[in-house]
Chain A
């Protein structure tokens, strides 16, 4: 027979687990191919919500971008930081006129074209790693810092 002590312990453990997986490490299942090859369709991972408590998001970070909550998010890589100018010329990203080295992009780069975009305060430029799609089919662009839930764990 379970005692009240057991029930209390189980309830407390459940509460702590709910809090931890809601506010610290949010479990995610990758859906889609926009972050291949680093993150494949159906991969399991976590978004670390504490990653930006003490520091700002950095270039190269893979972040979860929320729609209106945590059940559905976009997974994208930060390439442009606030105050920078980002352009895409024939699929090649340029930051302040300098070509950005992107070792994580393993696919062929389609000839995307984006004229220079100046990022405002709290604005980041995010894009997926898989560039082998038509520009119109790939979700990328500027996003406000408040929409970023956190950084992917691994």
Chain B
């Protein structure tokens, strides 16, 4: 009897683990973690490492991507529908900074049948010749699932407080 109970528990745990591991939420969180490490670096990377990072970055986005990002202080501003331009923006940023650290926090995912929308807060730390800058960017993303992978279709800033300057 005990053997049957233990087997049943193991089978149920296995099903839950399988369901969680291959679920959209986990896959999307893995994608964001991978994106974090692609964008971030502690020391200015070598030319080869830069090229690898830049080429890898393109693959996170779908070919019909739309970016509409603006930080509150205007330090980050990117509006494009061309993923090549995202790579160029990243490469240009690398010339100006010596450290970028990006973390996606408080990610809320809503996935349904090959599409997902999420809200997340990107905490960005940048070191440049002008000193240290810390940014907080609340973002909304739309992702699509195609050819076995999730890709980012759009990224836009969320206005938390309507400001008056």
B158→A68 contact, CB < 8 A: yes
A67→B165 contact, CB < 8 A: no
Which bracket fits the contact residues of A? 20 to 34
Bound CA–CA A96/B73 (angstroms): 29
Q: Which A residues, 54 to 81, have Cβ-Cβ distances below 8 Å to chain B?
A: 65-72, 74, 76
A141→B158 contact, CB < 8 A: no
Bound CA–CA A74/B108 (angstroms): 18
Which bracket fits the contact residues of B? 10 to 19
Confirm or deny: B107 has a beta carbon within 8 angstroms of a beta carbon on chain A: yes
Confirm or deny: A48 has a beta carbon within 8 angstroms of a beta carbon on chain B: no
**Which residues of chain A are near B136, meaning CB under 8 Å?**
67, 72
Query: B140 to nearest A CB, angstroms?
Result: 9
Among A1-9, A15-23, A37-45, A132-140, the stretch in contact with B = A132-140
**Which residues of chain A are near B164, meaning CB under 8 Å?**
88, 114-115, 117, 140-141
With both beta carbons as reference points, the residue of chain A lying nearest to B120 in the complex is identified as: A68
A67-B158, A69-B105, A143-B162 known; 18 new pairs, CB 8 Å cut-off, are A67-B121, A67-B160, A68-B121, A69-B108, A72-B121, A72-B123, A72-B136, A74-B161, A88-B164, A117-B164, A136-B165, A139-B72, A139-B161, A140-B161, A140-B163, A140-B164, A141-B164, A143-B161
Chain B residues in the interface with A (C-beta under 8 A): 72-73, 105-108, 119-121, 123, 136, 138, 158, 160-165
Chain A residues in the interface with B (C-beta under 8 A): 65-72, 74, 76, 88, 114-115, 117, 126, 135-137, 139-143, 147
